Chain A
Amino acid sequence: MSLTLTVDGARWRAHLLATATRSPGLVPVAKGNGYGLSLGRLARRAQWLADHVAETGAPLDLLAVGTYDELGEVTPRYDGDVLVMTPWRPFGAALDLDDRTAARVVHTVSRPDDLAALRERHPSARFVLEQLTSMRRHGMTRRELEAAAQALGTARSGLRGVALHLPLGTTSHLGEVSRLVNDVVASGLPTRTVYVSHLTHAEMGTLSSRYPDFTIRPRIGTDLWLGDRGALRVTATVLDVHPVERGDVFGYRGRSAPKSGHIVVVSGGTAHGIGLEAPTGDQSLRARAATLARGGMDAAGFVRSPFSIDGKQRLFAEPPHMQASMLFLPSGARTPRIGEQVDVRVRFTATDVDRVVVD
């Protein structure tokens, strides 16, 4: 029995089409665990979006993946070009590409030395230059971009644009993006295409009107694939139910029940990513206070689980196992049937489901 992601297919596809329609120049992002949906499925769906250009009015010529190792999952299922967002380095998987795949790849280059090395190995390589943003992860400074512009010269090159990776959670990205775009002009690079992510729809609109001579291409992952949460439901199966009295011993660790109720065994454990602490991205005081409160419950032997029965989140009876979890259901609550599906709240990017069912 498995952890299952059920997708309301009609609703999901409608959301994908709507997102593509209002995001001209869209570059879908398919990386990692495929946002819980799997890379292969996203690649097929990207191809489907490309095939629906008549409906969206938004040609889709580029799909972004995170790493070179992910290329194998997407290239057989998607016909267009593939942008690899991890910067090219003169080592590792980037050097193992077969010729057919290499011809479809757009590399990301983040160091002047790498630009020279890539062009030496593959004179016809296509690439975007990554700019250093306030995130300070990878990327070139203005002067490095200028050096790159000089190295490229005016001759026809593989330059496809510049890429920015902006940090999350700042009030507005517009000031930073304006400065970065100005740096592109200052560098003299012969391109007017900029790839960005994490901009709101309103910010994209402002940028496009402020830079009418630029093509601003949004890279979108979460908001595309997971943007309509109502279309996605993750469920676990109730595998077993055991009544317990206060003091009864159960589980791997021989814990005892704090009061009478039921031990409910459900599918889904650490192998799926259940019960692992992943940062939620929510850094508000309230969220941190909630984390502290949960820590307190942990000490007392009560930890809130992501499983909910009849709309109420239930406590783990003990830490999750590899493929199953034990929940504690106090007496008075309805006891679920074996085989019943219960809802699980997961972080899609950190969870591997056993099955994806698209209705």
Chain B
Amino acid sequence: MTTRLTLRPISAQEHRDFIAGQSSASFLQTPAWASVKAEWRSESVGWHDGDTLVGVGLVLYRQLPKVKRYLAYLPEGPVIDWADDDLAAWLAPLVSHLKANGAFAVRMGPPVVTRRWSAEQVKAGIADPAVRRLGDVPPLERCQQGARVVAQLHELGWQQQGTEGGFAAGQPQFNFQVPLVGDDGAPRTEADVLAGMNQLWRRNIKKADKSGVEVRRGGPEDLEAFHALYAHTAERDHFTPRPLSYFRTMVDALGAEDPDRIQLWLARHEGDLVAATIAIRVGTHAWYSYGASSTEKREVRGSNAVQWAMIRHALAAGAAVYDLRGITETLDADDPHVGLIQFKVGTGGQAVEHAGEWDLPLNRAIYKAFQLYLARRG
């Protein structure tokens, strides 16, 4: 069984076509994402069973200073059959290909869920002073498939990267998602999704509507307005904003793949921009990616209005999941990150734990040096 799959580089077109045939994949695994991360060398690779393409991966090569050796990184990927109990058959050809290309280590983030918690459980956890982390709350579900992936990665010598405290260096392990289909797989109605939200969210959505907030999709010409508000938000909330050029590249690259791949959303009140967001969708998975909001006119609730517009759009597009992306693991009411969780929990979805990011060192000495370098960089 272990010899049945082969791996070789594929064209961006083959890569795109394969993802288009999947029900979903992370946008970080689309070939377009390579153009966004232009400072990294990238490569599309494909798994073949005979002549049939059965899996793809976007590899980003990050060079180690002064040495011609690379960390090969597959963010939220690769796009393979993670339900296979013979992951060695998939990973072995990947690893030998990357090694031949000068990788000293491989890092990946298997897109599999390991645990889920309901919004009610998260809320009760925040209210309970004895609960400090999400993991202290009995989960709604521990996923067998996720556990199988974790078990196999351990068996195959991969090392799980820690996510101590806040956000990890890579992609977040804990995310908040609103399911847009029921347990039976049938689409939920707008009314049902709305009813799942907490009272504050429902009230705020109504309030925005009453005060005349208008939400519409923008075009590339609106990117500058989005960025101005985003830079304002960054200053207020003390984070470092990305430059406008980053978003231009992102919109151009992702937009070229599919007209609905990346969307700009703008909420205005009497002509003033009060909230603006970027949403991304690949197949049945829709993400809320970047958000910005004004400090003025908070009472008109532009942020809730724009979220609701994105959710409705995702529903209309047939998405199965609306993903609000990362949350920290903390449920400590005194932690500054808890406000963000509370905002997301109000949507009534689920907190979802993924398998996290895993490394396979190929050259132990260089890998160790790399870890030291990362630790020093802080």
Which residues of A line the B interface, CB within 8 A? 142-143, 179, 182-183, 185-188, 209-210, 212-213
User: Contacts A209-B136, A212-B136, A212-B137: A183 and B147 contacting too (C-beta < 8 A)?
Assistant: yes
Query: Chain B contacts of A209 at CB under 8 A?
Result: 135-136
Bound CA–CA A316/B224 (angstroms): 93
Bound CA–CA A179/B144 (angstroms): 14
Query: Chain B contacts of A143 at CB under 8 A?
Result: 85
Closest to A179 in B: B154
Are B144 and A186 in touch, CB under 8 angstroms? yes
Are B144 and A185 in touch, CB under 8 angstroms? yes
Are A186 and B147 in touch, CB under 8 angstroms? yes
B138 at the interface (CB under 8 A from A): yes
Bound CA–CA A172/B139 (angstroms): 25
Are B142 and A188 in touch, CB under 8 angstroms? no
User: SS class of chain B's interface: helix, strand, loop or mixed?
Assistant: helix
Known: A212-B136, A212-B137, A213-B138. 17 other contacts (CB 8 A): A143-B85, A179-B151, A179-B154, A182-B150, A182-B151, A182-B154, A185-B142, A185-B143, A185-B144, A186-B144, A186-B148, A188-B144, A209-B135, A210-B135, A212-B135, A213-B139, A213-B142
Closest to A214 in B: B138
Are A186 and B151 in touch, CB under 8 angstroms? yes
Bound CA–CA A35/B136 (angstroms): 37
Closest to A184 in B: B147
14 contacts between A and B (CB under 8 A): A182-B147, A182-B151, A185-B142, A185-B144, A185-B147, A186-B148, A186-B151, A187-B144, A209-B136, A210-B135, A212-B135, A212-B136, A213-B138, A213-B142
Query: Chain B contacts of A187 at CB under 8 A?
Result: 144
Interface size, chain B (Cβ < 8 Å): 15
Min Cβ gap A246→B in Å is 65
Query: Chain A contacts of B138 at CB under 8 A?
Result: 212-213
Bound CA–CA A272/B85 (angstroms): 54
Give the contacts of B133-177 with A (CB-CB under 8 A).
Answer: 135-139, 142-144, 147-148, 150-151, 154-155
A179, A183, A186, A188 interface centre (most CB from chain B within 10 Å): A186
Query: Chain A contacts of B135 at CB under 8 A?
Result: 209-210, 212
Query: Chain B contacts of A142 at CB under 8 A?
Result: 151, 155
Give the contacts of B184-201 with A (CB-CB under 8 A).
Answer: none
Min Cβ gap A131→B in Å is 12
Bound CA–CA A179/B151 (angstroms): 7
Bound CA–CA A188/B142 (angstroms): 10
Closest to A208 in B: B136
Bitwise interface map of B from 254 to 290 toward A, beta carbon under 8 Å scored 1, else 0: 0000000000000000000000000000000000000
Min Cβ gap B356→A in Å is 12
Min Cβ gap B325→A in Å is 25
Closest to B154 in A: A179
- Looking at the complex, which one of B136, B137, B150 makes contact with A186 (CB distance below 8 Å)? B150
Q: Enumerate the 5 nearest inter-chain pairs by beta-carbon distance, A residue then B residue, closest first.
A: A186-B147, A185-B147, A213-B138, A186-B148, A212-B138
Query: Chain B contacts of A183 at CB under 8 A?
Result: 147, 151
Query: Chain A contacts of B85 at CB under 8 A?
Result: 143
Min Cβ gap B49→A in Å is 23
Min Cβ gap A87→B in Å is 22
Min Cβ gap A98→B in Å is 39
Bound CA–CA A210/B135 (angstroms): 6
Closest to B139 in A: A213
Query: Chain B contacts of A188 at CB under 8 A?
Result: 144
Min Cβ gap A140→B in Å is 13
Min Cβ gap B2→A in Å is 15
Give the contacts of B84-123 with A (CB-CB under 8 A).
Answer: 85
Query: Chain A contacts of B143 at CB under 8 A?
Result: 185
Bound CA–CA A182/B153 (angstroms): 12
Query: Chain A contacts of B142 at CB under 8 A?
Result: 185, 213
Closest to A185 in B: B147
Query: Chain A contacts of B151 at CB under 8 A?
Result: 142, 179, 182-183, 186
Query: Chain A contacts of B144 at CB under 8 A?
Result: 185-188
Bound CA–CA A183/B147 (angstroms): 7
Bound CA–CA A212/B139 (angstroms): 8
Min Cβ gap B349→A in Å is 20
